[in-house]
Chain A
């Protein structure tokens, strides 16, 4: 495989991961905002005394942001960096 093809492969993989993770974050966050906008009673339901579905899902969106970043960093450190280093070494 020549350098250009290899570069294109790395490029395509990097943007596939980036777009999938961005889409996941958007779906979670806008899902939360749409629930606030259109289904307030659901979010007002109590899970246990002192904790509503809304507060729990809000905290989960923050945790999900952390989790998605963790997935990205793990992928980038394991796969992406190695692929880019391989291209650099060939120069």
Chain B
């Protein structure tokens, strides 16, 4: 017996409770969202633990909860490759990005790249890169949301996508970063709790010994489930995906934006520590969930509900705790998607209003209250775009789309961000070429990849052999930046580097002469 696809009272109740609570948070937050700093950066008053949970909330998307659990349930060990790739990006964020970002910038990562360069060209290029990443990530989440709601509540796909878009719009529009942060925190706690409970109940069937669970899986489906299999048959594909996952985290605009919500660099440091602890713990849990579903639900049944395996975790909940547990896990999964979509939209709105409108159109000095108004208008535009894209891309593979968003982030944003912090000779033109070239190269290679050419366009061959462009587009973006910077030096940018070297450590709060 299973009831996935039918209306579930607990799921629907949980779903309405979450929406009610989060709209309540939005109502309270809206009264504290009067300035631009409150809208984008929650007034810089978020603590390390809160920001760690919010970062984890932004990062642990439905693609990881449902997608990776499903991948493990259907192919065993291979699912672990994704979990680990998603986690190892965090040490990179910690060592190279988090504290300099907080010390050098104001609202978006382009503040850091543009710090000692010419504002207009850098801002435009950074906004293009950010919006490309946000678009791919949004498509993945909206498609996931639509499928999930259709499967769980028996609701029409298009209606589901519109509901997600409308609720998310309310959070961001009225509550800004304060509401978005608290929605993330509530969601992260719910998700960690839900995954932990589910894993604990599953393990209780095996005497709380994970090895007994893995042994049972190997006995039923053969020893191959514990070993690398056909998911990564091509070594270069594995490397390319690995590189994109590792460096992409440090280029995701909605993650980078969170470092501006804390008061100082030291708090940025502690928030990454908390985030990495929560995220690592969560990925270890998804591994238990995947194997639990493989043994306790069975691969055939998981495949019969959804060929991609995305319903493995909800099915496990139903097998262990019936309707009530299923409903709870579904509500958690829904909350997850809603929160991630809100974070992405806010990052997109910041790129449009802070980078393009204020710094390019208005030359850095907007009229009183104008930035906030433009940010809110951008939010509405992005929400409508997200709904349209979600409907247009119906049926796409969610985890794969997220992998592409990481590849674009790693090629468009990461090289320029790192070089602007580290390299004295970095120039405006180099930043521009690296960000636009990285975006174009990753998008172009995605178009030429087997996934688009063979799977979607049904051509017999693809010009580019890899499914993820990272292995080519990331080194290309670095190479473009370095060659251009060496060929066309920019003395003013080199002179500004001494200032960067100082502020990267000391921050802006202690220096009164200039605020970036």
Q: Residue of A at shortest CB range from B103? A: A84
Segment at the A interface, from B150-158, B225-233, B313-321 = B225-233
- The answer, yes or no, to whether B489 is at the interface (CB within 8 Å) is no
Fill in one digit per residue for A21-60: 1 if any B CB lies within 8 Å of its CB, else 0.
1100110011011101110100110101111101100110
Contacting residues, chain A, for B226 (C-beta < 8 A): 44, 46, 50-52, 54-55
Chain A: minimal CB distance from B329 (Å): 23
| Docked-complex contact A54 and B266, CB < 8 angstroms | no
Q: Does A25 contact B91, Cβ atoms closer than 8 Å?
A: yes
- CB–CB B238/A33 < 8 A: yes
Contacts of A66 in B (CB 8 A): 276-277, 280
B95 to chain A: which residues have CB within 8 Å? 17-19, 21-22, 25, 72
In the complex, the chain A residue whose C-beta lies closest to that of B88 is A29
Given A11-B505, A52-B227, A87-B506, are A73 and B84 neighbors across the interface (CB < 8 Å)? no
Specify the main secondary structure of chain B where it touches its partner: helix
Q: Is B478 an interface residue (CB 8 A)?
A: no
Q: Mark B62-100, 1 if CB is under 8 A from A, else 0.
A: 000000000000000100110111011011101110000
Is B221 an interface position by the 8 A CB rule?
A: no
Q: A40-B227, A55-B214 are in contact. Are A25 and B92 (CB under 8 A)?
A: yes
Grouping DSSP codes into helix (H, G, I), strand (E, B) and loop, the A interface class, with mixed when no group exceeds half, is helix
CB < 8 Å neighbour of A65 from B88, B228, B266: B88
* In the complex, B447 has a CB within 8 A of chain A: no
Give the residue of B246, B272, B422, B505 whose beta carbon is less than 8 angstroms from that of A84: B505
B94-A7 in contact (CB<8A): no
B interface residues, how many (CB within 8 angstroms): 49
Interface centre among A10, A11, A49 (most CB of B within 10 A): A49
Which residues from A are CB-within-8-Å of B494? none
Q: Are A50 and B215 in contact (CB under 8 A)?
A: yes
A30, B212: Cα distance in complex, Å: 29
Contact of B238 among A25, A36, A54 (CB under 8 A): A36
Asked whether, in the complex, the Cβ of B269 is within 8 Å of the Cβ of A76, the reply is yes
B355 → chain A closest CB, angstroms? 27
Decide if B501 touches A36 in the complex (CB within 8 Å).
no
- Asked if B251 is at the interface (CB within 8 A of a chain A CB), the reply is no
Pairwise interchain contact B211-A50, C-beta atoms closer than 8 A:
yes
Contact A44 B91 (CB under 8 A): no
Task: Pick the contact of A73: B90, B212, B273 (CB < 8 A).
Answer: B273
Task: Note all chain A residues with C-beta closer than 8 A to B269.
Answer: 73, 76
Q: Does B207 contact A (CB under 8 A)?
A: no
State the CA gap A50–B228 with chains docked (Å): 14
Whether a CB of chain A sits under 8 angstroms from the CB of B218 is: yes
Min CB gap A82→B, angstroms: 12
Cβ–Cβ < 8 Å partners of B232 in chain A: 36-37
Please give, as numbers and ranges, the residues of chain B lying within 8 Å of A7 by CB-CB distance.
Answer: 501-502, 505
Q: How far is the CA of A87 from the CA of B386 in the complex (A)?
A: 47
Q: Which of A43, A69, A87 contacts B276 (CB 8 A)?
A: A69
Give the CA-CA distance A29 to B245 in the complex, in Å.
11
Residues of B within 8 A of A52 (CB): 77, 223, 226-227
Asked if A62 is an interface residue, CB under 8 A from chain B, the answer is yes
Question: Measured between alpha carbons, how far is A23 from B464 in the docked complex, in Å?
Answer: 29
A37 near B238 with CB under 8 A, answer: yes
Whether A65 contacts B276 by the Cβ 8 Å rule is yes
Q: What distance in Å separates the Cβ of A18 from its nearest Cβ neighbour in chain B? A: 4
Contact B235 A37 (CB under 8 A): yes
In the bound complex, CA of A26 to CA of B277 (Å)? 19
* B280 shortest CB reach to chain A, Å: 5
Complex Cα distance A60/B508, Å?
Answer: 39
Pick the contact of B273 from A33, A55, A59, A69 — CB < 8 Å?
A69
B335 on the A face (CB < 8 A) = no
A73 to B227, CA, bound (A): 34
- State which of A48, A62, A65 has its C-beta within 8 Å of the C-beta of B211: A48
Known: A25-B91, A29-B242. A62 touches B280 (CB 8 A): yes
A11 adjacent to B77 (CB under 8 Å): no
Looking across the interface, which residue of chain A has its beta carbon closest to that of B272? A69
Report Cα–Cα, A72/B502, bound state, in Å.
Answer: 20
Given contacts A37-B238, A50-B215, A88-B510, contact A44 B276 (CB under 8 A): no
Sample (24) of A-B pairs whose CB atoms are under 8 Å apart: A11-B501, A11-B504, A18-B95, A21-B95, A25-B91, A26-B246, A33-B239, A36-B228, A38-B235, A43-B227, A44-B228, A49-B218, A50-B226, A58-B80, A58-B81, A59-B284, A62-B84, A66-B277, A68-B91, A69-B91, A70-B273, A72-B91, A84-B506, A87-B505
- List 6 tightest A-B contacts by C-beta distance, closest first: A37-B235, A44-B227, A50-B215, A50-B211, A50-B214, A52-B226
> Besides the contacts A43-B77, A44-B223, what 14 more A-B pairs have beta carbons closer than 8 Å?
A8-B501, A14-B505, A22-B92, A22-B96, A32-B84, A37-B236, A44-B224, A48-B211, A49-B211, A51-B214, A54-B226, A55-B214, A55-B226, A72-B94
